[in-house]
Each structure stands twice: as C-alpha cells, then as structure tokens.
C-alpha cells in the first residue's frame, strides 16, 4: 500500500502543485434529481420509461461532505438540507454554490436522514386509494455514507459538480402497489441512489 505522503507527492508531480497551492478559489455545487435524465434506448417510447409512470414529489433531508485530504472534511451542503424534487424527473434542485480552497480532496459522501415520497399517480394510486406515501427506514444516524471515494484535485477556478440522482422510481418500484403508507428498507434505497462528482 502506498503511504499517503508519497501518494500526495505523486499527485503533485502529475498535476503540478504550484498551480494548486498558489492561492485562488475553487467552487462546489450540489444538484439533486428525483430521477436524472438519461438517453432513451432506440425503439423505446418515452411513455415506456419508469420515471413517467409515477407522479408526485420526494422530500429528502441530507448532508454532503467533501473529504478533506490534508485537512478536515468540509460540508458543501451547508449542513443538513431538506429539498423536494419531482419523483419522475423534471427540474433538479441546486443546494447552492460553495467556495473552496484549491487543493487535494478525498471523495464525496452523502448521508440521508429522511426520505419520503408522496405519489399522486402511478401503480396502486387512484381515486379509490388516494395518494400514497413511501418512506425509507433509516436508523438513528441515517443512511450509510454514499458516494465516490476517489481523490479530487481542485485548482484555482475549478468547480466540483456533485449530482445526486435519487432514482426514485427504482426504489419506489420495489414495493407492492396498494393503499396506505409503505416503507422501503434503507439498503434498497442506498443501492438505487447514484452520486457523481466531476471537476470542471
């Protein structure tokens, strides 16, 4: 296993430390989707995609942490945040833009503490059953940390773009249609969610 100090030196040689430690400012922005847009395979109509079968909103409470690398971890969500997004896609929600010191960082991790979807249309939802609520069962500390743990290098002017794709139709679709509230296990939710971190 390569010692961390040698790993940092290797990154400096590759990326050029003088362009990182010489001051300046970097940024981070977190964007949350109920279901991020994706290319539709040829021959499949838009009406056949999972996201369009469900209507409603999903409310999540989360926090986003950027590993500190050579310093302490940093919250790039300004602590715990609650946002509401459409279940089947639609407009995402930005948690805002945070300034960062250029340098080395170790991964992005997201912790969810509350997730609740309120469905107004879809399988098991109709005039006879009314709206349907689907929640995720977390423990006292919320979900396991989710997200890519690879190293990141931010230079002056770079922006770290973090995309949280809840993939709501995937975990909602694991429960049986019917009236009344439904609970999804945390492990099922954690398996469905996708987190991406890109430096631009």
Q: Which of 192, 196, 144, 135 is nearest to 169 (CA)?
A: 192
**What are the tens digits of pLDDT across the range 131-188?**
788 999 999 999 999 999 889 999 999 999 999 999 999 999 888 766 567 899 999 9
Q: What share of the chain is helix, strand, coil (3-state, %, to 5)?
A: 15, 45, 40
Instruction: Locate 45 and state its tokens.
Output: 């109509």
Q: Where are the domains of the chain?
A: 24-39+46-199
pTM: 0.80
Mean pLDDT value across residues 39-66: 68
């Amino acid at each position: 296993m390569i010692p961390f100090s040698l790993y940092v030196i290797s990154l400096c040689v590759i990326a050029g430390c003088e362009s990182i430690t010489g001051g300046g400012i970097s940024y981070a922005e977190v964007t949350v989707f109920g279901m991020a847009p994706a290319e539709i395979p040829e021959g499949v109509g838009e009406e056949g995609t999972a996201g369009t079968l469900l209507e409603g909103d999903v409310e999540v409470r989360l926090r986003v942490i950027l590993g500190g690398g050579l310093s302490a971890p940093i919250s790039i969500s300004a602590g715990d945040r609650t946002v509401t997004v459409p279940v089947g896609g639609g407009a995402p929600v930005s948690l805002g833009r945070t300034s960062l010191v250029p340098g080395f960082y170790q991964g992005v991790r997201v912790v969810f503490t509350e997730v609740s979807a309120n469905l107004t249309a879809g399988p098991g939802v109709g005039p006879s059953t009314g709206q349907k609520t689907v929640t995720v069962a977390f423990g006292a500390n919320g979900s396991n940390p989710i997200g890519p743990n690879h190293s990141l290098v931010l230079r002056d002017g770079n922006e770290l773009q973090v995309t949280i794709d809840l993939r709501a139709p995937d975990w909602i679709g694991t429960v049986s249609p019917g009236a009344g509230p439904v609970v999804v296990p945390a492990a099922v939710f954690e398996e469905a969610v996708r987190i991406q971190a890109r430096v631009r």
